[in-house]
A and B are shown apart, each in its own frame.
Chain A
Amino acid sequence: MTPGPRAPGRSLLALLLLALAPLWLSGCWDNVDVRDRAFVLGLGVDLTPEGRVEVTAQMPRPEPGSVSVGTHGSVLALSAAGTDPISALHNLQGRVSRTFLLGHIKAVVLGEPAAREPVVVEHVVDQVLRHPQVDPGAFVMVANGCRASDVMNRGSAEGTASALFAGSALEKGLLGLNVPQSEVWQFLRALQTPGWEPVAIGIRCRPDSLEIADAAVFKRYRMVGWLGPRETRGMLWLMGEGEGSVVEVPSPHGLGLVLINQVTARFRLEPGDPPAARAQVSVSGQLLHKPERLVTITHRDLVALNSLLARRIQLEARLALEKLQGVFGADSIGLGRRFYFTSPYFWRGVNWEREYPRLRVEIVVSAEAGRKGSLR
């Protein structure tokens, strides 16, 4: 028997408690009442005319007994300028009575001029990821057609605060949003991985509301341009995403609608000079509206419909690819990454910057739309 494991243990416990007591008295360094914290929900980053960075922070309005949590009315947005985003935020701290808590940042919105300035984007990514509190899962967005501070000052159509609107809509992977994923860490991943360029989600200002749409294409830290709705969707097809979107299928007899349920994209790469790739996209979906007659779809109808659907998807993907390859020269889909991972020896000898625009990509789409509702 070990000599008295109980008695020393307990006396030590008492000793420990005694030793820790002064710590408790002097301690509580991190104990700050929630009232004394300002929960920053979103950051907007703009460029001032003088070329400084202006940061707009969205936070709850200190209002006793406010029941409507997270609505546009319950938040306020404050702006301050500085040399870089974090120093601007620090400048803002002087005007607020509460300590900023950055752990709940849902979205970082860049104004378009700021997004086109590589230094600013680099600072944003770096500072967000370097800060121990900020959630690396915050979304990177680019304001389309307005300043980021406008986005922060505006609510969604249903009245939600803009940062929460963006955050919750994107977090839940809302079906049919048709935007690529762009959390801060994904942004970093695309920057770090060879043959991959980051994208950001566009957020468009409407007269009295906001809309999540489009994709901002980046090349390294610089935003190079926008992809429109169809092109964004085309890019998503190639990424194996885009579930929930509704595709219009034109036919001589009218317009059919197909709700896409599943998308997969596979690539077969042919390293060589010039390199080539073959993308096999398969989508399956559900027919929402049949172009010709109301009821009864036959096998022949379905075959025709599927080929139309496939052609449509192929067209969109082709559009996106042409824009990415030809106009922007940005490999947002990560085709180069596929070469990098699957043919490392090929990758060592290739200058992807030069090869990417002339990469031949063959897009093969197999589509399958079914009737899943109550009508035959």
Chain B
Amino acid sequence: MSEFRPWPPGSLTGAQYLALTMSGFMAMGLFEFPADLAQVAGRAALVSLLISIALTVGGAAALLALARRFPGRTVIEYAPMILGRWPGRAVIAALLLLHLFITGVATESFTRAVNNVVLPQTPAAAVALIYLATAVFLSWIGLVPLGSTCQVAFPAAWSIMMLVTLIAVRRVQGLHLLPSLVPGWGAVAQGVLRVYYPFMTCKVLYLLPGFIANRRRLNLALWAVGVNSATFLAQFLVTAGILGVDTLHVLTRPTAFMMRIVRFPGFLVEHVGYVVAISFTIFNCLFAAIQIWAISLLTAGLLNLPRDRYRLFIGPVAAAAFALGLAYEDEAQLSIQFTRIISPAGLVTGVLLPAVLYLVARLRGFKPPPATARQQEKPP
């Protein structure tokens, strides 16, 4: 009682929730996806992308509907309630493994990018280590401070990136953006199935809504999903508009490439695009921090520990991510992980699973509690 707290401790404000959702959703595959999309779907890439966005919004809406039915709870609590104890735990375990896997892959992918472009002589392990150390620190400080960090860092990084993208717009040739269905619907479906990975991380919404103080702010996450999808779309449009779909698929990181060819003569940083390297670093760090937090929380939930004990698992999780990252021999192998494993798994956990959980919850008669009743009950 003697402590003055202007905000209810341990729960997120609307802005923090928004920022966390956005930063948990931004980094994954931001560099690579236009190349993979162009390779798989060819000139139908844009159609694939739009379908992916629609699926993502649907999945996010299902997750939010679930959150509304179980206020103050995360998937750790509501999955066993909906599906029964063991199937629920299986879902949690699957999410946990998937999160761990993508953290490892994303760490390795980002480390390689840094290593290639800005720090060629530095050993990859050192880069991965300091990167993960930062992420560990950010997840250690707790969800609310992490939310505050995202709330400051994310908009800054995002606006820098979008500013450069905006400067790049003048090099876009509208001709290159004309979509076509020549590759056929099969290619479109392949595009969705193989290159869903940038959108899969919106499954951070399995956990975050359980921490929000004001339930009326839940829907802010849809804004986050919208803005992020629009960002991906803009990145793709500008990249493809400048380079053409046929050039995209020979590049390793088309988004970064696009930023590098933006010129702004006379500006302090002649190649403005390099500034975006900072944005990318921030995105990836926040993303990794949220991932590590999510994995630790899922682990704690799986072991029936209270939420606050998630810090116990941060160290092991980071170590596992580091080890997973080292497991890849080359970048080609790494990018196969994205298209062959992560994307389909992302479709399952980001779209299918929320839909199933929502339908089962409806069938079993879980209803959102009336808005006026303040839910005081604490989750286990």
Contact = CB atoms under 8 A, between A and B. Distances in A.
On whether A and B touch (CB less than 8 Å), the answer reads: yes
Interface of A: 1-3, 5, 8-9, 12-13, 16, 19-20, 23, 27, 29-30, 132-133, 135-137, 168, 171-172, 183, 185, 188-189, 192-194, 337-338, 341-342, 344-345, 348
A352 to B, nearest CB: 14
B133 A16 contact: yes
19 contacts: A2-B10, A9-B137, A9-B140, A12-B136, A16-B133, A19-B133, A29-B121, A30-B118, A132-B117, A137-B263, A183-B261, A185-B243, A189-B244, A192-B250, A193-B247, A341-B176, A341-B178, A342-B175, A342-B178
A205 B178 CA distance: 42
Contact of B123 (A20, A29, A171, A189): A29
B308 A23 contact: no
A307 to B, nearest CB: 30
A9 B182 contact: no
B188 to A, nearest CB: 14
A255 to B, nearest CB: 35
Considering the complex of A and B, which 8 residue pairs feature the smallest CB-CB distances, nearest first? Answer: A1-B9, A5-B142, A29-B121, A192-B247, A344-B182, A29-B122, A9-B141, A132-B116
A8 B120 contact: no
A342 B180 CA distance: 9
Contacts of B244: 189, 192-193
B130 interface: yes
A5 B126 contact: no
A221 to B, nearest CB: 15
A278 to B, nearest CB: 16
A337 B120 CA distance: 37
Contacts of A136: 257, 260-261
B145 interface: yes
B331 interface: no
A1 B3 contact: yes
A323 B360 CA distance: 70
A194 B43 contact: no
A27 B244 CA distance: 41
B194 to A, nearest CB: 21
B126 A344 contact: no
B122 A3 contact: no
Contacts of B163: none
Contacts of A9: 137, 140-142, 145
A221 B257 CA distance: 22
B5 A185 contact: no
Interface string B248-274: 001000000100110101100001000
Mostly helix, strand, loop or mixed at chain A's interface? Answer: helix
B308 A135 contact: no
B307 to A, nearest CB: 8
Contacts of A132: 116-117, 120
A1 B11 CA distance: 9
Contact of B122 (A13, A27, A188): A27
A137 B250 CA distance: 17
Contacts of A137: 260-261, 263, 271
Contact of B133 (A20, A168, A193): A20
Contacts of B123: 29
A348 B182 contact: yes
Contacts of B178: 341-342
A174 to B, nearest CB: 11
A337 B175 contact: yes
Nearest to A173: B265
Nearest to B3: A1
A256 B52 CA distance: 58
A267 to B, nearest CB: 9
B122 A172 contact: no
Given A5-B141, A16-B133, A189 B261 contact: no
Contacts of A341: 175-176, 178, 180
Contacts of B119: 29-30
B311 interface: yes
Nearest to B309: A3
Given A29-B119, A135-B271, A342-B178, 15 more contacts: A1-B9, A2-B144, A2-B308, A9-B142, A12-B140, A16-B136, A20-B130, A23-B129, A27-B122, A29-B122, A29-B123, A30-B121, A171-B265, A185-B243, A189-B247
B257 to A, nearest CB: 7
A159 to B, nearest CB: 20
A122 B311 CA distance: 53
Nearest to A26: B126
Contacts of B43: 344
Contacts of A29: 119, 121-123, 126
A8 B140 contact: yes
Nearest to B117: A132
Contacts of B3: 1
Contacts of A188: 247, 250
Contact of B243 (A16, A23, A189): A189
A330 B25 CA distance: 45
A172 B264 CA distance: 9
Contacts of A16: 133, 136-137
Given A29-B122, A136-B257, A8 B311 contact: yes
Contacts of B247: 188-189, 192-193
